Amino acid sequence: MTVREILKMGDPRLLRVAQPVAEFNTPELHALVHDMFDTMHAANGAGLAAPQIGVDLQVVIFGFKSNTRYPDAPQVPETVLINPVLTPVGEAMEDGWEGCLSVPGLRGVVPRHARLHYEGFDQFGNRIVRDAEEFHARVVQHEVDHLLGILYPMRIRDFSKFGYTSVLFPDLDPNEDD
Ligand code: NI
């Protein structure tokens, strides 16, 4: 188990469309998922996508009971989601603040689908089928964007709501680097 280096915006590996996972329940896939959880927890992240540690595969993880980087966020179930397919439910979009471990020190308001149906597999190959809304839906859309080579600043429409976390949210723990 290893805390891996998180790539930062500007690295071309964050802009690739990730490859689907072909084989489940392998030692390599389990090792990747372990490393991703170690890396996400070390950074107090709400989610992490394999491309953020330079791995070109459709694997994301997310979830927490409470998170110091998003103290007002409701709980999201701890999830490993592989080869995901997202389907928006309804037309409603919702604005909300996002940060990203690959874009440290900044936050921005991003419009996302308010309600979402998503499907995929866990690391054992078990099928995952869920409906999500609010922060859960936002986290899934943010992480799956990483698999498409999209970072949240590319989704910002109102750049007056994009800035340094330390200025926008001075009450957040200054030891959090995002
Ligand atoms: Ni991110």
Whether residue 67 is contained in a domain is answered as yes
Ligand 1 mean position, distance from CA 19 (Å): 18
Domain count across the chain: 1
Contacts of 34 (CB under 8 A, 6+ apart): 1
Residue at 71 is within a domain: yes
Report CA(2)–ligand 1 centroid distance (Å).
19
The answer to whether residue 140 sits within a structural domain is yes
- Helix, strand, or coil here: 119? strand
d(CA 32, CA 50): 8
Average pLDDT of the segment spanning 52-73: 90
Q: What is the pLDDT of residues 137-171, one digit of tens each?
A: 999 999 999 999 999 999 999 999 999 999 999 98
Confidence tier at 66 by pLDDT (50, 70, 90): confident
Structure tokens given for 99: 């940060």
* 50: containing domain: 12-168
Report how far residue 144's alpha carbon sits from residue 140's, in angstroms, rounded to the nearest whole number.
6
- Give percent of the chain with pLDDT exceeding 70: 96
CB 33 within 8 A of CB 123: yes
Residue 72 falls inside a structural domain: yes
Q: Is the predicted pLDDT of residue 78 greater than 60, yes or no? A: yes
Instruction: Transcribe 26-61 into DSSP letters.
Output: -HHHHHHHHHHHHHHHHTT-SEEEGGGGT--BSEEE
- Residue 139 within a domain: yes
Q: Which long-range contacts (CB under 8 A, 24 or more apart) does 72-76 make?
A: 73/46, 73/135, 74/134, 74/135, 74/136, 76/46, 76/135, 76/136, 76/139
Cα-to-centroid distance, 114 and ligand 1 (Å): 18
pLDDT at 65: 82
What does the pLDDT look like over 15-61, one tens digit per residue? 999 999 999 999 999 999 999 999 999 999 999 999 999 999 999 99
* Of 95, 104, 89, residue with least CA distance to 44: 104
- Please give the distance, rounded to the nearest whole angstrom, from the Cα atom of residue 23 to the centre of ligand 1: 25
Domain membership of residue 113 (yes or no) is yes
Closest of 152, 142, 178 to residue 69, by C-alpha: 178
Does residue 174 fall inside a structural domain?
A: no
Catalytic residue IDs: 143
What pLDDT is stored for residue 103 in this prediction? Answer: 98
Per the CB < 8 A criterion, the answer to whether 57 and 19 are in contact is yes
Residue 177 has pLDDT above 70, yes or no: no
- Ligand 1 center–CA 45 separation, angstroms: 9
The pTM assigned to this predicted structure is: 0.94
Q: Which domain CATH number covers 127?
A: 3.90.45.10
Q: Is residue 77 part of a domain?
A: yes
